[in-house]
């Protein structure tokens, strides 16, 4: 069912807590070498899905595969090939930064000491500092160092930048682009769950929007930005009747119409533009939506 070219395959995943379906029949596939966005509101089921990938939770039904392996059966095989940065990072408080790095390195078959040195330097971390004395930003930076130095094939990030200051957020993303993708970009896969979509926009090749445990939309990022369009038209007098199939009307008032073309209909934006042009508007323009706007439109 899964092939080696897939870093992650989720098939009909269900995870129930009591009577709540946190994840409710989710399917998605992440090709190797891609940077995949996993977008959803708080409580949409993102973290539960990720925990199933890491065997921190067992699926109620359905299956998850990482590099074709079942994380529940082949936990070591899976974990040896990935690294994970959670939203709340915790380290042993009595260890120093140096000891923490050595401790993490001891579990890994590879550990790039040059990368470690340059990142510790870049983040300005004091290796003699106790983990308990680190700020939230510094803890996340340390977690990122421990995730990147083993040069894993898959980097799983769960809301990595929420609650951090803008400088730390920027550095975090630049590090993922620079240091993580450095070695062999084709073999470095990123799976990032976030609701701070605009920050990761430039990084994302493909994404899935999850809501109430279900897959709402999976699309290639460039295709989505090309096909989801916001169109504004103003007519000389009251707007004539318009066939609005495949669109969501944002505003329709007097002489003005503003609508969002549902990008899942291939090439529907130019069709709508032609349709509106034929009605001789006095003004007509369209603009693409950013991924964040697409997210909002998809959940509207």
Which residues of this chain interact with other proteins, rule CB under 8 A?
Answer: 33, 35, 170, 173-174, 177-178, 181-182, 185, 201-205, 222, 225-226, 229, 277, 284, 286-291
CB of 205 to other proteins, least distance (A): 6
Find residue 156's DSSP bridge partners. Answer: 84, 191
* CA–CA distance, 47 with 66 (Å, rounded to integer): 16
Distance CA 63, CA 65 (A): 7
**Minimum Å distance from CB 187 to other proteins?**
12
Q: Which residue has the tokens 């959940």?
A: 299
Which of 125/179 has CB closer to other proteins?
A: 179
Q: Identify which of residues 129 and 264 has a Cβ nearer to other proteins in the complex.
A: 264
Buried b (16+ CB within 10 A) or exposed e, 128-143: eebbeebeebbbbbbb
Shortest Cβ 91–other proteins spacing (Å)? 27
Residue among 205 and 258 whose Cβ is closer to other proteins: 205
- Looking only at the bridges linking them, the beta strands covering 20-31 and 35-40 are unpaired
Task: Please say which residue, 18 or 124, places its beta carbon nearer to other proteins.
Answer: 124
Considering the complex, state which of residue 32 and residue 79 has its C-beta at the smaller distance from other proteins: 32
- The distance of closest approach from Cβ of residue 92 to other proteins in the complex, given in angstroms and rounded to an integer, is 32
How far apart CA 9 and CA 4 sit, in angstroms, is 10
> How many angstroms separate the CA atoms of 113 and 162, rounded?
28
Q: How far is the CB of 30 from other proteins (least distance, A)?
A: 14
CB atoms within 10 A of CB 27: 15
Interior/surface letters 227-237, b for 16+ CB within 10 angstroms, e for the rest: bbbbbbbebee
- Residue that is written with structure tokens 């510094």 in the block: 138
Between 126 and 287, CB nearer to other proteins? 287
Plot region of 51 (φ>0 → left; ψ -120 to 50 → alpha; else → beta) = alpha
Which lies closer to other proteins via its Cβ, residue 64 or residue 149?
A: 149
Work out how close the CB of 197 gets to other proteins at its nearest, in angstroms, rounded to a whole number: 10
Q: What is the largest CA-CA distance in the chain?
A: 73
CB of 257 to other proteins, least distance (A): 16
CB atoms within 10 A of CB 70: 16
- Whichever of 184 and 245 has its CB closer to other proteins, that residue is 184
Minimum separation from the CB atom of position 198 to other proteins (A):
8
Are residues 113 and 102 in contact, defined by beta-carbon separation less than 8 angstroms? no
* Pair 218, 207: CB distance under 8 Å: yes
Instruction: Tell me if residue 23 falls in helix, strand or coil.
Output: strand
Nearest CA-CA partner of 299 in 211, 226, 219: 211
């Amino acid at each position: 069912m899964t092939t080696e070219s897939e870093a992650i395959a989720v098939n009909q995943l269900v995870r129930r807590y009591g009577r709540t379906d946190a994840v409710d029949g989710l399917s998605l596939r992440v090709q190797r070498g891609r940077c995949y966005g996993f977008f959803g509101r708080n409580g949409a089921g993102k973290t539960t899905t990720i925990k199933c990938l890491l065997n921190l939770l067992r699926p109620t039904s359905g299956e998850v595969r990482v590099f074709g392996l079942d994380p529940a059966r082949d936990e070591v095989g899976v974990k040896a090939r990935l690294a994970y940065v959670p939203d709340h990072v915790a380290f042993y408080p009595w260890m120093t930064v140096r000891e923490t790095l050595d401790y993490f390195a001891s579990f890994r078959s590879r550990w790039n000491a040059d990368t470690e040195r340059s990142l510790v330097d870049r983040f300005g971390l004091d290796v003699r500092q106790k983990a308990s004395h680190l700020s939230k930003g510094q803890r996340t930076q340390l977690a990122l160092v421990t995730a990147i130095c083993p040069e894993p094939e898959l980097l799983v990030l769960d809301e990595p930048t929420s609650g951090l200051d803008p400088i730390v957020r920027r550095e975090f993303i630049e590090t993922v682009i620079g240091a993580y993708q450095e070695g062999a970009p084709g073999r470095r896969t990123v799976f990032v769950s976030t609701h701070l979509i605009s920050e990761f926009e430039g990084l994302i090749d493909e994404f899935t929007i999850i809501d109430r445990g279900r897959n709402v939309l999976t699309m290639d990022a460039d295709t989505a930005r090309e096909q989801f369009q916001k169109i504004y038209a103003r007519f000389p007098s009251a707007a004539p009747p318009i066939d609005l199939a495949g669109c969501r009307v944002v505003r329709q008032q007097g002489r003005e119409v503003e609508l969002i073309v549902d990008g899942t209909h291939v090439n529907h934006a130019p069709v709508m533009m032609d349709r509106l042009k034929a009605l001789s508007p006095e003004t007509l323009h369209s603009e693409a939506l950013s991924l964040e706007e697409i997210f909002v439109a998809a959940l509207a």
